[in-house]
Structure 1
Amino acid sequence: MKLLTLTEYCLMIFFTGVFLAVTGFTARDIGLYVGIALIYTFSHLFSKRMLEKRGKEKQQANLFISVLAIVGSVLATVLFIAIAASFAK
């Protein structure tokens, strides 16, 4: 997997979870689709710019690092949602 794709996936997972938590998991129809499209667009642009600045846009990531990064992204998202929910009450 390319490092660019892995970075996009991790950012997409995290910020989509944050978006859904902020909207209270009630985002529906066009608001949900526009929100996810904007999140994907910004995560793609940010990760591409960040990796190009460091010269790593063509670098490959091995399978173990890819799985670790995606699992870590999911765990960070769940942790953020749990912390946000505990402060909301």
Structure 2
Amino acid sequence: MSDRPVTAATVVGAGLAATGVAHFIVPQAFAGITAQAFPDDTDTWITRNGITETVVGTAIAIPATRTFGWVGLGAYVAFLGAQAVRSR
């Protein structure tokens, strides 16, 4: 077992990664919110968002890749925000 303490970033990253995995386990739970931003191909975007959240969350949870993860999260949030505005 590691002597490193669990940090808030590790918890946030693990939570985001778990949410990403949930896109594959219960995709219908994400259909409503995904359809708002991606009305034309919702199922494909549920999968893409699941992959993105799993990868970015894992990167945030691991100290060696944390900076990459935070940058990825910023880009992902900006993309989703822009897509939500564009779809309205």
Could you tell me the TM-score, scaled by structure 2's length? 0.37
Larger relative contact order (CA 8 Å, sep ≥ 6): 1
Could you tell me the TM-score, scaled by structure 1's length? 0.36
